[in-house]
C-alpha cells in the first residue's frame, strides 16, 4: 500500500459507525455466548466471570477494562493466529496473520506495536502459567489454536499484578481433559496452499484425566518465498480432588517458515506477490524447536481462602537467516524456568469485607547466542558468541475492599528486580560483557460504584514499566548491550462504564496514558530485517474504547467494538529531527469490528467486518498507509449421528477482494515497510467429534 496512494474514505464511516454505537448500547468486553440453541431453549448471555485478574471475579464488578471471548464465538475459524478471537475486544490491534516467520503482532493500547516479531510489552499467560519469558518477550508459536477455548485481555498497565512488560495482559485458556472418552479429528484445506490436520483424544478415570493433541499446519502463502510448516504435540493431565486441582501441560513444536521480507511502495505497485530480492538471495527464514512443561495447582485454603502455585521450564532452539551478509545468520539455545504463587485471604475488618492477595514470581532465562555471516543461505564465519542471562524477582500485594453495598475499592503494589547480563565468548573483538540491574515499584488503585443491579461506573489509576528484552538490548555498535537504552514507564488513568443484562452486555472506557522513554524500533541500511531500539523522551496516548454484545432476536447476535486512538510523541529527537507532535508508527487512529451472526439449531452463519483507519510506517510520519475494511464470512452445520457430531464449515476471507497491508516493518531504513495481504481466500473443513 503506497504512502502516496489517495486516502480511502474508510475513516469517515468508521467514525460514524463508532458514534452510532456510542449512541446505542455503548462498548463491551466480548460476550460469553450461550450454548447452541435448540427449539426448547432461550439464548441468553451468562454473567461473565474473569480469571485474568489473579483469581475469579465478576466482570461487572472489576474496576478495570477487561474483555473476554470464548471459542464458541468463533466457530468455523481457520485458526492461523489468535487474531479472530481478539478482534471483538476494543483497544486490541493485531497484524501479520500470514507471515509465520514474523508471527502475529499484538498491541494493546499501543503497547506491543514496536515488535518486529513476536509479542512485546504485553504479558501472556496460558492456563495460569506464564508464556512470557523472564526478559519480557513472548512467542505464541507454541500454542495449538485448536485447543484454545477462550481468551481474556486486560487493557492498559497491569504491572501491579504481573510485573515487567505488562502494558496489557493476554490470558489464554485451553481445553481441560474430559473424563468421558472423547476424540476429535479436524481436517481443512483452502486457498494459499493451506492445509491442516489435527487430532485430539481425552479420557479419565477416578480423579485423573488426560488429553493428547497434535496439530500439523502448512501454508504456501500469498507471496513468493512464503511457505510455512508448523507441527505441535500437546499433552495435558488433570488431577481433581477436594483439596484442589493439579494440572500438568507438555508442549513440543517443530516449525519452519520462510520470510518474504518487506517491500517498498514501488515494489508493491509492480508485483504485490513478489518477495524482497534479498530475501531470495539470502534464503531468509527461521526454524524453531521448543519443548515446554508447566505445572499448576489451584488449592483450597481454610474457610473461603484459596491459593495458586505454578512452575514451568523449557528449552528453545532457534535459527534464522536474515537478508544480509555480515552477521546475517543467528542462532540461540535457550533454557528458561520459573516458579510463582499467590494466596488470597478473605476476611472482615472495620465491618468491611476484604480480599487480600499476596504473591511472588521468580524467573530465569539463559541464551547461548551466536551470529554468523550469511553466504547467500550458507553459514559463514562466526561473528558473535555470547551467553545472555535474564533473571527477575517480583512480589505483590493487592487488597479488594467492599465499601458498602455499592462501592468496591482495589489497591495494589508490586516490587520487581530484573538482572540482564552478557558474557562475551567471542575473543576476536574485545570483551563486550556486562550486566544491567533494573528495579521498579508499581502501584494501582481502582474504585467502582454500582449504579443499579446491571450497571457499574469505575475509575482506575495504575503504572507499568517495561525493560528492553535481551534481544532488544543488542548493541548497534557491536556485541554486548546497548548502553544508552533505558526501560519505559507508563501512567494510566481511565474511567469506564459497564452494563450486563441477559441479552446485552456493554462497556465504555476513556483513558489517558503518559509514557517516559517509550521503546522505539529502527533499522540500519546494511542490516535489513534486524531491528535495534532507542528511547523516545515522552509520549501521550489518549483514547476511547466502545463495544457491545447484543442478542436482539431469537438466534440473532450482533457484536461491535470500536477504538479511537489519539497518540502523540511529546519529546522525541533523532539525529537533529524533531518528532514532537507526530503519531507513533504502526498504530491506527481508529479501528472497528462488527459481526452479525445467526444460529438455528446446529447451523450457523456469521458475517464480520474489520476496519482499520490510516496509520504511519515511520515516526517521521512521511509514509502514510491508507485505511481498509475486510469482510469475512463463516458458514457451518453440525450433524448429530447418535453420539457423534460431524461439523462441516466453510470460510471466505476478504470477501470483497480488498488490497491491504497485512503487516508493517516500522522505521525500516530502506523504506521496505510493507507486507501486502492476500485477496479473497476460501477454505473448508470437516470436524468429527466422537
Q: Give the torsion sign (CA, 45, 47, 53, 56).
A: negative
* Structural domains counted in the chain: 1
Asked if residue 167 belongs to a domain, the reply is: yes
**pLDDT per residue over 171-204, tens digit each?**
999 999 999 999 999 999 999 999 999 999 999 9
**pLDDT per residue over 2-53, tens digit each?**
333 333 333 333 333 333 333 333 333 333 333 333 333 357 888 899 999 8
Asked if residue 477 belongs to a domain, the reply is: yes
**pLDDT per residue over 65-110, tens digit each?**
999 999 988 889 998 999 999 999 999 999 999 999 988 999 999 9
pTM for the whole thing? Answer: 0.91
Residue 509: closest CA among 23, 18, 19, 27:
27
Mean pLDDT of the chain: 90
Asked if residue 5 belongs to a domain, the reply is: no
Output the domain CATH number for residue 57: 2.40.170.20
Asked if residue 16 belongs to a domain, the reply is: yes
Asked if residue 193 belongs to a domain, the reply is: no
Asked if residue 684 belongs to a domain, the reply is: yes
Cβ-based neighbours of 11, under 8 Å, separated by 6 or more = 589, 590, 613, 614, 627
Asked if residue 194 belongs to a domain, the reply is: no
Asked if residue 179 belongs to a domain, the reply is: no
CA gap 364, 563 in Å, rounded = 37
Is 147 within 8 Å of 213 (Cβ atoms)? Answer: yes
Cβ-based neighbours of 465, under 8 Å, separated by 6 or more = 159, 164, 416, 440, 442, 487, 488, 489, 490
Boundaries of domain holding 440? 10-29+46-173+201-689
Per-residue pLDDT, 117: 79
Residue 216 has pLDDT above 50, yes or no: yes
Amino acid at each position: 500500500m503506497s504512502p502516496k496512494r489517495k486516502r480511502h474514505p474508510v475513516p469517515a464511516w468508521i467514525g460514524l459507525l463508532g458514534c452510532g454505537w456510542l449512541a446505542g448500547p455503548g462498548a463491551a468486553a466480548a460476550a460469553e455466548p450461550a450454548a447452541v440453541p435448540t427449539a426448547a431453549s432461550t439464548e441468553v448471555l451468562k454473567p461473565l466471570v474473569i480469571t485474568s485478574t489473579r483469581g475469579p471475579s465478576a466482570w461487572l464488578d472489576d474496576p478495570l477494562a477487561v474483555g473476554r471471548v470464548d471459542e464458541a464465538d468463533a466457530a468455523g475459524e481457520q485458526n492461523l493466529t489468535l487474531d479472530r478471537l481478539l478482534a471483538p475486544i476494543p483497544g486490541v490491534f493485531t497484524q501479520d496473520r500470514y507471515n509465520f516467520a514474523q508471527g502475529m503482532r499484538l498491541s494493546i493500547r499501543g503497547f506491543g506495536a514496536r515488535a518486529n516479531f513476536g509479542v512485546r510489552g504485553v504479558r501472556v499467560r496460558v492456563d495460569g502459567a506464564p508464556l512470557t519469558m523472564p526478559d519480557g518477550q513472548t512467542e505464541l508459536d507454541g500454542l495449538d489454536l485448536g485447543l484454545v477455548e477462550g481468551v481474556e485481555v486486560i487493557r492498559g498497565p497491569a504491572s501491579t499484578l504481573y510485573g515487567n512488560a505488562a502494558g496489557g495482559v493476554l490470558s489464554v485458556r485451553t481445553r481441560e481433559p474430559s473424563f468421558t472418552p472423547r476424540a476429535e479429528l479436524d481436517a481443512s484445506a483452502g486457498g494459499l496452499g493451506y492445509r491442516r490436520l489435527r487430532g485430539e483424544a481425552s479420557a479419565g478415570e477416578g480423579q485423573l484425566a488426560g488429553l493428547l493433541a497434535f496439530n500439523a499446519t502448512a501454508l504456501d502463502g500469498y507471496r513468493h518465498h512464503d511457505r510455512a510448516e508448523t507441527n505441535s504435540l500437546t499433552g495435558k493431565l488433570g488431577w481433581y480432588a477436594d483439596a484442589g486441582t493439579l494440572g500438568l501441560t507438555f508442549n513440543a513444536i517443530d516449525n519452519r517458515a520462510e520470510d518474504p521480507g518487506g517491500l517498498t511502495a514501488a515494489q508493491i505497485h509492480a508485483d504485490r506477490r513478489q518477495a524482497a530480492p534479498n530475501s531470495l538471495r539470502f534464503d531468509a527464514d527461521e526454524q524453531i524447536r521448543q519443548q515446554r512443561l508447566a505445572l499448576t495447582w489451584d488449592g483450597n485454603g481454610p474457610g473461603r481462602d484459596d491459593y495458586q502455585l505454578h512452575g514451568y521450564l523449557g528449552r528453545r532452539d532457534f535459527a534464522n537467516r536474515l537478508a544480509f551478509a555480515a552477521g546475517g545468520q543467528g542462532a540461540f539455545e535457550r533454557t528458561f524456568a520459573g516458579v510463582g504463587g499467590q494466596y488470597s485471604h478473605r476476611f472482615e475488618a472495620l465491618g468491611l469485607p476484604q480480599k487480600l492477595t499476596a504473591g511472588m514470581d521468580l524467573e530465569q532465562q539463559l541464551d547461548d547466542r551466536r551470529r554468523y555471516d550469511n553466504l547467500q543461505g550458507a553459514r559463514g564465519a562466526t561473528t558473535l558468541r555470547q551467553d545472555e542471562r535474564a533473571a527477575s524477582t517480583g512480589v505483590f500485594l493487592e487488597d479488594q475492599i467492599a465499601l458498602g453495598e455499592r462501592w468496591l475499592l482495589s489497591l495494589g503494589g508490586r516490587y520487581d528486580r530484573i538482572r540482564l547480563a552478557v558474557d562475551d565468548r567471542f575473543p576476536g573483538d574485545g570483551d563486550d560483557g556486562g550486566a544491567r540491574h533494573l528495579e521498579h515499584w508499581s502501584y494501582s488503585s481502582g474504585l467502582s460504584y454500582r449504579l443499579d443491579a446491571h450497571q457499574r461506573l469505575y475509575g482506575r489509576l495504575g503504572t507499568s514499566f517495561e525493560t528492553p528484552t535481551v534481544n532488544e538490548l543488542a548493541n548497534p555498535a557491536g556485541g554486548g548491550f546497548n548502553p544508552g537504552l533505558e526501560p519505559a514507564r507508563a501512567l494510566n488513568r481511565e474511567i469506564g462504564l459497564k452494563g450486563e443484562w441477559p441479552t446485552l452486555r456493554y462497556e465504555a472506557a476513556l483513558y489517558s496514558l503518559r509514557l517516559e522513554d517509550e521503546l522505539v524500533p529502527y533499522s540500519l541500511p546494511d542490516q535489513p530485517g534486524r531491528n535495534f531500539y532507542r528511547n523516545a523522551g515522552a509520549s501521550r496516548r489518549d483514547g476511547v474504547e466502545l463495544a457491545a454484545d447484543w442478542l436482539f432476536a431469537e438466534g440473532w447476535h450482533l457484536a461491535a467494538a470500536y477504538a479511537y486512538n489519539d497518540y502523540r510523541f511529546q519529546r522525541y529527537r533523532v539525529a537533529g529531527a524533531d518528532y514532537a507532535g507526530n503519531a507513533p508508527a504502526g498504530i491506527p487512529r481508529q479501528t472497528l469490528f462488527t459481526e452479525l451472526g445467526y444460529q438455528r439449531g446446529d447451523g450457523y452463519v456469521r458475517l464480520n467486518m474489520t476496519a482499520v483507519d490510516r496509520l504511519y510506517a515511520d515516526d517521521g510520519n512521511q509514509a502514510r498507509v491508507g485505511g481498509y475494511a475486510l469482510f469475512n464470512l463463516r458458514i457451518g452445520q453440525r450433524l448429530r449421528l447418535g453420539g457423534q457430531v460431524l461439523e462441516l464449515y466453510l470460510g471466505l476471507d476478504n470477501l470483497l477482494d480488498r488490497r491491504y497491508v497485512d503487516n508493517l516493518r516500522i522505521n525500516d531504513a530502506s523504506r521496505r515497510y510493507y507486507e501486502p495481504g492476500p485477496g479473497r481466500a476460501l477454505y473448508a473443513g470437516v470436524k468429527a467429534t466422537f
